[in-house]
Amino acid sequence: MTPQNKKIPRMSLERLPIYYRTLCNLADAGYLRIKSAQLGRIIHLEATTIRRDFSYFGDLGKSGYGYDIAHLIEIFGTILEVNHTQGLALIGVGNLGRALLINNFRRNPNLEIVAAYDVDPAVIGGIINEVPIQALADLEDDLKAKQIKGVISTVPSHALQEVVDQLVMFGVTSILSFAPEPVHVPESVHVRYLDLTSEVQNLLLLAELS
Amino acid sequence: MTPQNKKIPRMSLERLPIYYRTLCNLADAGYLRIKSAQLGRIIHLEATTIRRDFSYFGDLGKSGYGYDIAHLIEIFGTILEVNHTQGLALIGVGNLGRALLINNFRRNPNLEIVAAYDVDPAVIGGIINEVPIQALADLEDDLKAKQIKGVISTVPSHALQEVVDQLVMFGVTSILSFAPEPVHVPESVHVRYLDLTSEVQNLLLLAELS
DNA sequence: CATTTTTTGTTAATCAAATCACATTTACAT
DNA sequence: ATGTAAATGTGATTTGATTAACAAAAAATG
């Protein structure tokens, strides 16, 4: 987006959605401006971390004044492409998949699951929350037709790599997997793992050690 | 656990569950030993990172040989307390909560949701996967009686802080929240956030920028 | 309008994690 | 047995992120 993309730290980008959401909440509550110190208190970050993060996206604040909330929302929204709705596919409509589908990013108008797939004949053909559930075999035409770049997978570990290989072949560039097993993908494809078991074990371990 | 606890880097601890699971899979598949380089290829880490991680837990390998898988599983299992089952509580039995409950860490014998709570009279009194769903008002006696230290929360943002305050009061030390809003807790309580929207937005953002 | 206060943006310092480089140890082959 | 190849564990270095410190800029005040 900005010319010097490459140099924005990963961590600053990771915080962008949080900044965006928090600022939207503040705007909804009627606030017009905010200082880095206040925002820091809300989201538990040092003011200086926030200022540095913001600085990567331009000169957004004014000395002795703070930041204009609407302006920040405008800038961050553009970066996050909140205006252009991103169609997502869901692979795996088990209990978790169904819950995701029913929720379907209701609060986020720019994210939407538009297609769902499974291998179980019992669920194929059904419709959940207006999204039809299709056979995995239909993946190709559909992904390409709908220009889907992002996929959420609740596919279990043993079947995952095979599915992911297909996704990559059909042009998917972003995959969020709820299975812990790492999958092999080309450099250009981004995978993120959301492993509930690891998260919980870690949390308990930290508590244990402290 | 080990005497010099404090010095084990957070990141090394975070990787422990992944190591543990991967090693268990290898053992199940009949492997007896592994070298840091092989393991690195499997879980996409530099061999040297793995060796250093392992070194924090003792002299676990042998030069020119590698690591004994069973031995690693033994050691890491002890640290993760895989033998002592940890009872967890679930707060919020909506679609996501229900999915978690139905799954209930089936694959992990040491984690188990043993109690579930909600405010909705329509679900209170029900039983899902052998776990009874109780009123939030019953929290106190129950958490204390069952010595529950870890909680998974799918409580929506607006109600979260209030619930968390109670949890802390009743002795909970670890909280996994599916809502993005940061909550205030004392130093001694660990909170982890698992915000689906942020994860997906970030993933798409990374793809966008690269 | 000058002065004081506030708050930013950024350079410099610190801290933590990942990686390099290599001496040491052990296995294995001959 | 002895020598060679393989792999570990760890000081030294590099990389990346956070925090501290402060000069410059803008707002608020009298």
Nucleic strand C near CB of residue B49 (< 7 Å)? yes
A25 annotated among ligand-binding-site residues: no
Q: Per the domain annotation, does A145 fall within a domain?
A: yes
| One domain, residues A75 and A119 | no
B210 part of a folded domain: no
What average pLDDT does range A1-29 have in this prediction? 85
Amino acid identity of residue B154, one-letter, is T
What are the pLDDT digits (tens) for A77-134? 999 988 889 899 999 999 999 999 999 999 888 999 999 999 999 999 999 999 999 9
Q: Among A18, A49, A80, where does a domain finish?
A: A80
A39, A18: one domain = yes
Q: Mark which of A47, A80, A113 sits at the end of a domain.
A: A80
Q: Which two tokens stand for residue B134?
A: 């109780």
Q: Find the CB nearest B5 among A79, A182, A209.
A: A209
Cβ neighbours of residue B19 under 8 Å, at least 6 residues apart?
B39, B43, B50, B53, B72, B76
- B92 and B192 in a single domain? The answer is yes
- H-only helix segments in A110-195: 139-146, 157-169
What is the model's pLDDT at position B65? 96
**Do residues B104 and B113 touch, judged by C-beta distance below 8 A?**
yes
User: What DSSP character marks residue A185?
Assistant: -
Residue B158 Cα to chain centre, angstroms? 24
Residue A164 is assigned to a structural domain of this protein: yes
Q: Assess if residue B29 is contained within a domain.
A: yes
For the annotated binding site of B for NAD(+), the residues are: 92-97
Q: Are residues B92 and B44 in the same domain?
A: no
Q: What per-residue confidence (pLDDT) applies to B6?
A: 58
The span from the CA of B16 to the CA of B2, in Å, is: 15
Q: Which residues contact B96 (CB under 8 A, 6 or more apart)?
A: A96, A99, A100, A103, B154, B178
> Which residue range forms the structural domain that includes residue A103?
86-198
Q: Are residues B109 and B143 in the same domain?
A: yes
B193 contacts: CB under 8 Å, gap ≥ 6:
B177, B178, B179, B180, B182
Domain for residue B59, yes or no? yes
CATH of the domain at A127: 3.40.50.720
Task: Give yes or no: residues B74 and B136 share one domain.
Answer: no
For residues A107 and A62, membership in a common domain is answered with: no
Cα A103 from Cα B96, distance rounded (Å): 8
Identify whether residues B61 and B93 lie together within a single domain: no
**What's residue B209's pLDDT?**
83
Q: Using an 8 Å CB-CB cutoff, list chain A residues near B86.
A: 204
| Of the residues A32, A61, A80, the one at which a domain ends | A80
Give A 71-100 residues with CB within 8 A of chain B.
Answer: 79-81, 86, 88, 94-96, 98-100
Looking at the structure, tell me whether residues A103 and A23 fall in a common domain: no
CA–C1' span, B75 to D13, in Å?
Answer: 31
Which one of A18, A42, A192 has the shortest CB-CB distance to B180? A18
Q: What is the pLDDT of residues B134-156, one digit of tens each?
A: 999 999 888 988 999 999 999 99
- Name the residue with tokens 């200022």: A51
Indicate whether B4 pLDDT > 90: no
pLDDT at residue A4 in the model: 43
Same domain, B129 and B188: yes
A2 pLDDT more than 70: no
Candidate from A17, A98, A188 with C-beta closest to B202: A17
Query: How many domains would you assign to chain A?
Result: 2
**A149: Cβ under 7 Å from strand C?**
no
Output the six-digit token pair for B63: 């030069």
| Count of Cβ atoms closer than 10 Å to residue B155 Cβ | 26
Contact flag, residue A63 CB and nucleic strand D, below 7 A: yes
A136: left (phi over 0), alpha (psi -120 to 50) or beta: alpha
Q: For the ranges A83-87, A163-167, B27-31, B195-199, which has the lowest average pLDDT? A: A83-87
Q: Could you tell me the pLDDT band of residue A1, with boundaries at 50, 70 and 90?
A: very low
d(CA B187, CA B191): 10
Domain identity same for A90 and A74: no
CB of A197 within 8 Å of a chain B CB? The answer is: yes
**Distance (Å) from the C-alpha of residue B43 to the closest C-alpha of chain A?**
6
Instruction: Let me know whether A169 and A191 are in one domain.
Output: yes
- Of B120, B116, B83, B86, whose CA–CA distance to B102 is shortest? B116
**CA-to-C1' distance for B153 and D9, Å?**
41
Q: Is residue A100 part of a domain?
A: yes
Measured from Cα to the C1' atom, the residue closest to C21 is B48
* C-alpha distance from B182 to closest chain A C-alpha (Å): 6
- Which nucleotide has its C1' atom closest to residue B48's CA? C19
Residue B65 (CA) to nucleotide D7 (C1'), in angstroms, measures: 6
Domain presence at residue A1: no
Residue B185 covered by a domain: yes
Q: For chain B, what is the mean pLDDT? A: 93
Residue A67 sits in a domain whose CATH number is 1.10.10.10
